[in-house]
Chain A
Amino acid sequence: MNDYVIPEKLRVVGTTPIRPDGHDKVTGRAKFGDDFHLPGMLHGKVLRSPHAHARIKSIDTSHAETFPGVHAVVTAADFPKISSNVIDAGEAGQIDMQDVADNCIAREKVFYDGHAVAAVAADNAHIAEEAANLIQVDYELLDPVMDVRSAMADNATVLHDNFLPGAFLAPTEKALPNASKLELAMGDVSAGFDEADIIIEREFTTETVHQGYIETHIVTAQWGANGMVTVWTTTQGQFAIRDQLALVLELPMSAITVIPLEIGGGFGGKDSIYIDPLAVVLSKQSGRPVKMVMSRAETLRATGPSSGTYIKARLGVKIDGTLVAAEFHGAYEAGAYSGGPVAPGVSTALTRYNIPNVKIEGYDVLVNKPKVKPYRAPGATPSNFAVETMIDELCRELKLDPVEFRLHNALKTGDRLVLGFPCPEIGGVEILKAVQNHAHYQSDIGGPHRGRGLAYGFWFGAGLPSSADLMVNSDGTVQLCSGSPDMSGTRITLAMQAAEALGIEPNDIFPSVGDTASVGYSFQTVASRTTFATGIAVYQAAQDILAQMAERAALIWQIATDNILIDGGRFVNKTNVQQCFTFKELAGKLVGTGGPIAARALASPEGVGFQITAHLVDLAVDTETGKVDILRYTAFQDAGKAVHPDFVEGQIQGGTVQGIGWALNEEYFYDGAGHLKNTSLLDYRMPTILDVPNIEAVILERPNPGHPYGVRGVGEVPIVPPAAAIANALYDAVGIRMNTLPMTPAKILDKLNSITD
């Protein structure tokens, strides 16, 4: 791990230049998934299962095939049975690619309402849809398993006779017919609880939620005459799409080029394939390019969701407020195939407190819902909700200030984590002190049925591989190409880091997102990693550029390269300081001194700066209807170094709003047969602009020594504490302790009635 010497004064990093992609995005000129067209393009539509759990007895596609205007029809029979299906995903353990393929198109069984069973390519989308509905599928219905506790019960209907235990962040082991398990421990829990003066144990449930990206999944694929495949798609990771396509279609990775279009939101849910392989095979069969656009209903039924959970936790505290022991049991939905966010969910449940004795168990549970996908700090919102509301309860029981209690127990740099290593540089204490000193915390809440709540949140983030190319143009401008799709302004945050390193202005740099044929391998834009990890790749490429340019200056002045001083975008002859080139001047001399200069860096940084945050919320409750009105919201977060503070603020606000949705209204609503009943954004109630107040972001900067400018990831942790902060404020306002998400008006009213009856 590198420990960088972070410059005290930065010239570009920390300013707020205008993003180069912004104007095209707000004027509608940017090309998103649905803006892409090819001549002769067909349109594909998917036939989806109306059942939550069923065996496919037969599929008759003959009526669809002969329908006028139809060019190709595919079912799972048109896809290879994958020969080497288990791939090693590094830290994540192993992934069964057959599961990935079967999730795209059901092979023997359908595992959720909306599971794809066939696809049609036709002259237009209406014909494709009509033809898809002519496909006859004979199903043998099986009992659906719709929540973690029934899936884990004795005699539960079994989804898969065999499955590879789910792996995301940490491996699990098969423990039950529908579940695999992981355990983490530190210290001696029973001794710890013996030491405790107060022990509380509580149970929680949370419902399945969706990432809610506004742009649905959209892909266009072309099977070329030479067997080369090109895919244009809206994704968080062009390389991930390429690799997954290659594995499920048994094609060489080099035969597939994935071109990323602009992305209208992802939040973790656009990191993998769904309709992509269907479009590729439809294109192969029809000999024409095929475009597929998911509807909102398809997106809600068949993609994305994050786990519903059942959680049981036990905390032991001494009378002075010292946490001495904790047990945490979290059962997380995996959906139809194993590999949900249980590991990051349970391993961040307590990480922000220094508790000596901890026992954690997590279950990755198969249920008849779509295969869950990462969603912004995957798994952490439910576990934080559980633990932070229990901490609030302990504070009240012990009559301790909620900030002081957390300060007393806060995880500090060097404390041992339950994952077994010491905590790197972390700014938790500064965050909590910033809460104490803020006008919001000190203000009078005023009015009846109003309350204030605090929650403290933690998230890891990740490094992982990233690449960046820099090329110097003869006029001194620079092309920057990375493999990281831009979801949140990362074109400019990467350009700013390049400008800082090269000593030039950010608007002298043209940043772009490369396709898989034109730039080095990069992991997805996920895990709050792009400005951090791709930023390091950019920084390293910039160092290479500077070194190469210094060589040219040395060549021109006929001196040793050691005698070149690089200082703020100038190259100076140390032996004759009158001799000096600006970056632009030297760029103009490259062609005559050996040709243009370019550099590529592939970085896989490990010095990830953890994300720590505290959220403070004031709200009012209508005690007759259970409606919650959020009055004031302040989010405090350590950004390490905010490269572009406006976008850090945007991430904090966006994540918080998603957390508010999770807290108050958002949930998948299934009927008894496992049909999803709210397949529109009317009834899947994400907050609107009128449902949230201005969210004040307080950015603190405790530099991460693992990045040359001290950057930490910032994108994920804002979604972690809102549910708990709101639950704690509800208690403060009206004395009810909520143990379930979402905290809908009906649940709040019910709870209010139960305490007044």
Chain B
Amino acid sequence: MKYQTPSTSKEAAVLIQSEPGQAFVLAGGTDLMVRMKGRFVEPDLLVDIKHISAMQSIKKLATGFRIGAAVSAAEMGENTSLKKTWPGVVESANLIGSDQIQNRCTIAGNLCNASPAADAVPALIAAGAKVNVVGAQRRRTVAVERIITGPGTTSLRKGEVVEAITLPKRPPKSGDAYLRFTPRSEMDIAVVGAGVSLTLDSKMVIKSARVALGAVAPTPLLVPAAAQAIVGTKLNKAALNLLAQACCAACNPIDDKRGTIEFRTEVAGVLAQRAAKMAYQRARGK
């Protein structure tokens, strides 16, 4: 097994593209190392991206925030500006694993690991995040919900590396939230996750919204019908009921050691309602 520490994104992409065997990007390693130890993967090449300067920082730009692919979840939690603008996204990253894990793990890694239960992903989808992808030949920008194609699989082509995740500029009166259900308080994997992001008009009516669910289908889901259920409302009871119904209808979960189909489906609606309420309060500035 080879181990490389390129200093640019392009260099990383070229290394991976020219590797005839199995190549993996190493960021925090909190998923990859576990998979290697369990012999689920046996890489021929590890490309460590932690030495690439374009991936190392969180930047506040005119267009929003840019979070480098090698930025740890803990660093996100320490960025007060990011936390204030996107509390739901930061909370989702700070739910992954434990404090020790958060010191290593990255949201880009969480995304590329492509678990249906990834905590950061529903919050990023709800936020309308975009992914900056660097290939050996060209760069492209992809909506975050288009990355994961199934459990453990992504739409990234060989040689493509995520350089950063961007969050759009936030209009006033906006709020987001992410909630997950785990049987344990921490050190657990989401049985259901729900992320909601919304913006209000001057009369506190929801002007736009995005709702995403995790762990209830082979991929994290963007649920437009759930967003439609609350747009144009002040999140009254009827709207919340419709939101829950739309979420439950979108679920296509499995029965496994972590939860049953019935449970995941029912709780998806519950968590979406709670996340919507929390996002709404945040948007109102409360």
A318 at the interface (CB under 8 A from B): no
Of the listed stretches B43-51, B127-135, B227-235, B259-267, name the one at the interface; the rest are far from the partner chain.
Answer: B259-267
Closest to B38 in A: A297
Q: Report if A625-B188 is in contact (Cβ < 8 Å); known contacts: A745-B181, A746-B259.
A: no
A749 lies within 8 A of B266 (CB):
yes
Selected contact of B262 from candidates A627, A687, A688, A750, CB within 8 Å: A750
Cα(A624)–Cα(B191), bound, Å? 14
Contacts of B256 in A (CB 8 A): 677
A690 lies within 8 A of B181 (CB):
no
B258 at the interface (CB under 8 A from A): yes
Write the B246-286 contact mask toward A (1 if CB under 8 angstroms, else 0). 00000000001111101100110011000000000000000
A138 at the interface (CB under 8 A from B): no
A473 at the interface (CB under 8 A from B): no
Contacts of A85 in B (CB 8 A): none
A690 lies within 8 A of B257 (CB):
no
Contacts of B267 in A (CB 8 A): 624-625, 749
A669 at the interface (CB under 8 A from B): yes
Contacts of B263 in A (CB 8 A): 626, 745-746, 749-750
Of the listed stretches A39-47, A431-439, A588-596, A678-686, name the one at the interface; the rest are far from the partner chain.
Answer: A678-686
Contacts of A626 in B (CB 8 A): 263
Residues facing B in A616-644 (CB within 8 A) are 624-627
Instruction: Write the nearest CB–CB distance from A126 to chain B, whole angstroms.
Output: 10
Across the A-B interface, how many residue pairs have beta carbons closer than 8 Å?
A: 50
Contacts of B181 in A (CB 8 A): 625, 627, 745
A197 at the interface (CB under 8 A from B): no
Contacts of A334 in B (CB 8 A): none
Closest to B260 in A: A746
Contacts of B185 in A (CB 8 A): 688, 690-691
Cα(A691)–Cα(B187), bound, Å? 11
Instruction: Write the nearest CB–CB distance from B32 to chain A, whole angstroms.
Output: 16
Instruction: Write the nearest CB–CB distance from B228 to chain A, whole angstroms.
Output: 23
B260 lies within 8 A of A685 (CB):
no
Contacts of A688 in B (CB 8 A): 184-187
B21 at the interface (CB under 8 A from A): no
Residues facing B in A35-90 (CB within 8 A) are none
A745 lies within 8 A of B257 (CB):
no
Q: Report if A677-B257 is in contact (Cβ < 8 Å); known contacts: A625-B270, A744-B183, A745-B181.
A: yes
A664 at the interface (CB under 8 A from B): yes
Contacts of A677 in B (CB 8 A): 256-257
Write the A741-757 contact mask toward B (1 if CB under 8 angstroms, else 0). 00011100110010000
Q: Report if A691-B266 is in contact (Cβ < 8 Å); known contacts: A683-B257, A683-B258, A746-B260.
A: no
Write the A274-289 contact mask toward B (1 if CB under 8 angstroms, else 0). 0000000000000000
Closest to B270 in A: A624
Cα(A690)–Cα(B185), bound, Å? 6
Instruction: Write the nearest CB–CB distance from A217 to chain B, whole angstroms.
Output: 19
Write the A721-751 contact mask toward B (1 if CB under 8 angstroms, else 0). 0000000000000000000000011100110
A322 at the interface (CB under 8 A from B): no
Q: Report if A746-B257 is in contact (Cβ < 8 Å); known contacts: A664-B183, A690-B186.
A: no
Write the A378-404 contact mask toward B (1 if CB under 8 angstroms, else 0). 000000000000000000000000000
Residues facing B in A589-614 (CB within 8 A) are none
A665 at the interface (CB under 8 A from B): yes
B200 at the interface (CB under 8 A from A): no
Contacts of B271 in A (CB 8 A): 625
Write the B183-206 contact mask toward A (1 if CB under 8 angstroms, else 0). 111111101000000000000000
Kindly list 6 other residue pairs between chains A and B, CB separation below 8 angstroms, not including A665-B184, A690-B186.
Answer: A625-B270, A626-B263, A677-B257, A685-B183, A688-B185, A745-B183
What are 13 inter-chain pairs, A to B, with CB distance below 8 A?
A: A625-B181, A665-B184, A678-B257, A682-B189, A683-B258, A685-B188, A688-B186, A691-B185, A745-B181, A745-B191, A746-B263, A750-B262, A753-B266
Chain A positions within 8 Å of B, measured between CB atoms, are: 624-627, 664-665, 669, 677-678, 682-683, 685, 687-688, 690-691, 744-746, 749-750, 753
